[in-house]
Amino acid sequence: MMAGRVVEIAEDGRHLAKSRGFLTVSADGAEIGRVPLDDIAAVVASAHAITYSNTLLVALAERGAPLVVCGANHRPAAVLWAADGHHDQAGRMSEQAAAPLPLKKRLWAQVVSAKIESQGATLESVGAPHEGFALLARKVRSGDPDNVEAQAARRYWPLLFGEDFRRERAGGGVNAMLNYAYTVLRAGTARAIMAAGLHPSLGLAHRQRGNAFALADDLMEPFRPVADLLVHDVVSGGATEVDRETKPELARILITDMSSGDGVSPVAACLERLALSAARCFAGTARKLDLPRRTLPLEG
């Protein structure tokens, strides 16, 4: 299974096109780089003045690689989605749309529980107190009516980034780094959802009504703490903002190894398995989401 590479266009004046099996990037009429189309997990467009050839957009859609168009602070404004991502897309989307509320609530509880466990693992990795998180994860009931997710978050952020830290989407510094890592994670999740034949707008948690990427935002939750750990490491290394040095480190989120039923796989592969298991749950052929567990850091 391919983990795939993330292509980001961060400078103005770039033109993206397709040449044989490659995405080519040009500036002032001269090619400055190329990436094999089959290796691309997602293209993130964060600069303002970018042009594209239609042939390239078709080639990306054919491979299920989303084009993420970003607004300010690396927050995604739009995703170009393949019209036909899976051979049984229509069938799977109708099962997804017809999924009864109790089922969605049960699945949401599994996601929240896995996220809280993952937060505990991230805190453990950085040597912070983490003991309460396993207990909190077990407290999550169907639909998370007690909002254990928020209780965990209130404890988690100060333990990870210090008492003064506030998670703000529009913030700079650490907040912008988190946005960046989440954008890459969201693109990988979007690709997995598309490949599983599901619709991104029909989420599990009702709180996200109106969000066009509700399901992507739901399924990426247990992986956010892995991204948080990458940000923590980059910040510990002295970085203070999203720049040319930190971006490649944060983009590693999709190739970070996690353990699952099939052994150790990168996050990108875990997302594919999770999305497929969600499709099976909607179809009524499975009851549990295929959620990864956190492994200890690999010695490299």
For residue 206, say whether it is annotated as part of any ligand binding site.
Answer: yes
- Closest CB to another protein among 6 and 190? 6
User: Shortest CA distance to 250 belongs to which of 223, 228, 220?
Assistant: 228
How many angstroms separate the CA atoms of 188 and 226, rounded?
14
How many angstroms separate the CA atoms of 215 and 190, rounded?
9
How many angstroms separate the CA atoms of 92 and 11, rounded?
39
Q: Please select the residue that binds another protein; options are 68, 159, 219, 230, rule is CB under 8 A.
A: 230
How many angstroms separate the CA atoms of 122 and 207, rounded?
26
Residue 253 Cβ vs another protein, minimum distance, rounded to whole Å: 9
Site mask, another protein, residues 32-61, x = CB under 8 A? xxxxxxxx----------------------
Site mask, another protein, residues 247-266, x = CB under 8 A? xxxxxx-xxxx--------x
Check residue 2 and give left, alpha or beta (phi > 0: left; psi -120 to 50: alpha).
Answer: beta
Any contact of residue 292 with another protein (CB under 8 A)? no
Site mask, another protein, residues 196-215, x = CB under 8 A? --------------------
Any contact of residue 133 with another protein (CB under 8 A)? no
Residue 3 Cβ vs another protein, minimum distance, rounded to whole Å: 6
Q: Which residues of 248-262 are buried (b: 16+ CB within 10 A; e: fewer)?
A: ebbbbbbbbbbebee
How many angstroms separate the CA atoms of 187 and 189, rounded?
5
For residue 149, say whether it is annotated as part of any ligand binding site.
Answer: yes
Residue 31 Cβ vs another protein, minimum distance, rounded to whole Å: 11
- Name the phi and psi angles at 298, rounded to 5: -75, 140
DSSP for residue 285: S
Q: Please select the residue that binds another protein; options are 30, 83, 98, 296, rule is CB under 8 A.
A: 296
The size of the interface with another protein (CB under 8 A), counted in residues, is 49
Dihedral sign from CA coordinates of 32, 35, 37, 42: negative
- Closest CB to another protein among 26 and 151? 26
Bridge partners for 50 per DSSP = 14
Q: Please select the residue that binds another protein; options are 9, 68, 112, 190, rule is CB under 8 A.
A: 9
Any contact of residue 241 with another protein (CB under 8 A)? no
CA angle, corner 222, sides to 221 and 223, nearest 5?
Answer: 90
| Contact region with another protein (CB under 8 A), list: 66-74, 87-95, 168-176, 244-252 | 244-252
Question: Where does this chain bind another protein (CB under 8 A)?
Answer: 1-3, 5-11, 14, 20-22, 25, 32-39, 125, 184, 226, 229-230, 233-234, 237, 244, 247-252, 254-257, 266, 295-300
**Known binding positions for Mn(2+):** 149, 206, 221
